[in-house]
Structure 1
Amino acid sequence: MRLYAQTPARRIRQVLADLIAVAMICAVVKLALVVHDAIGRLADPGRKAESAGVSLSDGLVDAGEAASKVPFVGGQLKKQLGSAAEAGTGLADAGRSLQDTVGHVATLTMVVLIVIPVVFVLLLWLPPRLRWIRRSAVTRRLAAGPGGADLLALRVLTGSQRELTAVSTPPGGLAEAWRRGDEQVIADLAAIGLRQVGLRA
């Protein structure tokens, strides 16, 4: 299986197309990662809220433990401070929830920013490359088989007439020479057929 043409002009075009496709995919992935990081920074308030909530809750629980030793009102103080500590826990939970939401949004955005452009690039680039690989393989098998040069010459004769000017026309014309089995004309036409695909004779 041949991945690139043998003729320089077509091979350069193929290599350039491959490099452009790879560069576009790399640029899309890099952009998606930058956007992911930028969205991820929106979770900073959530992290601060979680840290503040945990600190507040721990501080109030410690204060409640200390207040429980106060005579007569210690139990009541501990209960009130415990209720206040629950508010700190709620703040910490809200901070964690914000971080989770931002994380999900950042990941989803990154996936969308990668998948859609990459699929678009692959749909534009991959089918023509695969078609050329398949066509070149079929043409090589055809040229190597018995009567392959005749079939390639016939394909050129029935295709575009633009390149036929490169073949010296014998008396009676190219088609007549092909019917007679003129080896030089058939070889020249077969070489044109290979060159059209990007292969050398």
Structure 2
Amino acid sequence: MRLYAQTRARRCRQILADLIAVLLIAAAVWFALAVRDGIMLLAEPGRKVEDAGDSLASGLDRAGEAASNVPLVGGILKKPLQSAAEAGNGLSDAGQTVQDVVGRVADLTAFALILTSVLFVLALWLPPRVRWIRRSALVRGLLDAPGGADLLALRALTGPVKALAAVPVPPGGLADAWRRGDAYVIDDLSRVALRQAGLRP
């Protein structure tokens, strides 16, 4: 199985198409990651809320511990401060939840963008490449099969006329020479068919 043509012009076109496909996929990944970073900026308020909740909870915990040392009323003062510290922890948890949700949305968006872009590029690039690989294998198989050169010569005769310009025309024309089984003409025509397929004899 041949992945690239043997003729220079077609091989260059195939390599260029491969490079363009790789560059498009790389650009799509870069764009998706940039979008993800942009979405992650929305998590900044959640981080601030989490930090504020943590600071509030730790401050109220310290105040509660300090209040518990007050004679007679220390236990009474400590309870509302501990309740307020728990509310601060709830605020911190809410901030963390916001960050988690934004992170999941950012990841899913980036994944969807990458998947869609890669599938789109592959849908444009892969079918022609697979068709060429299969066609080149078929043409190469025809050349090696008995009577395959005749079929390739016929393919050249029915192809573009400008491709036949390099073939010497015998008396009576190329088609007549092919019908007579002229080995030289058949060989020349089969070479034309191979070149059209991007292959060399």
TM-score range (shorter-chain normalised) is over 0.9
Q: Are positions 1:168 and 2:174 aligned together?
A: no
1:37 matched residue in structure 2:
37
Cα distance in 2 for residues equivalent to 1:46 and 1:81: 24
Output the TM-score relative to the length of structure 1: 0.94
By how many angstroms is 1:4 displaced?
1.0
By how many angstroms is 1:101 displaced?
1.1
Paired residues for 1:41-60 under 5 Å? 41-60=41-60
Cα distance in 1 for residues equivalent to 2:149 and 2:117: 43
Cα distance in 2 for residues equivalent to 1:101 and 1:130: 42
DSSP-derived class of the 1:151 partner: helix
Cα distance in 1 for residues equivalent to 2:196 and 2:158: 13
**Count of paired positions:** 201
Output the TM-score relative to the length of structure 2: 0.94
Paired residues for 1:41-120 under 5 Å? 41-120=41-120
Over aligned residue pairs, what C-alpha RMSD do you find? 1.4
Letter in 2 for 1:192: V
By how many angstroms is 1:38 displaced?
2.2
After TM superposition, the runs of 4+ consecutive aligned structure 1 residues lying more than 6 A away are none
DSSP-derived class of the 2:69 partner: coil
1:141 matched residue in structure 2:
141
By how many angstroms is 1:76 displaced?
1.8
Cα distance in 2 for residues equivalent to 1:44 and 1:92: 13
Cα distance in 1 for residues equivalent to 2:11 and 2:164: 23
Cα distance in 1 for residues equivalent to 2:164 and 2:10: 20
Deviations along 1:73-120, whole A, 9 cap, x unmatched? 222211111121122011101110110011011101111221111111
Cα distance in 1 for residues equivalent to 2:42 and 2:176: 77
By how many angstroms is 1:198 displaced?
0.5
2:153 matched residue in structure 1:
153
Any unmatched runs of 5+ in structure 1? none
By how many angstroms is 1:26 displaced?
0.7
Cα distance in 2 for residues equivalent to 1:122 and 1:47: 39
Letter in 2 for 1:177: A
Cα distance in 1 for residues equivalent to 2:186 and 2:195: 14
Letter in 2 for 1:139: V
1:13 matched residue in structure 2:
13
Deviations along 1:175-199, whole A, 9 cap, x unmatched? 2211211011101110110011011
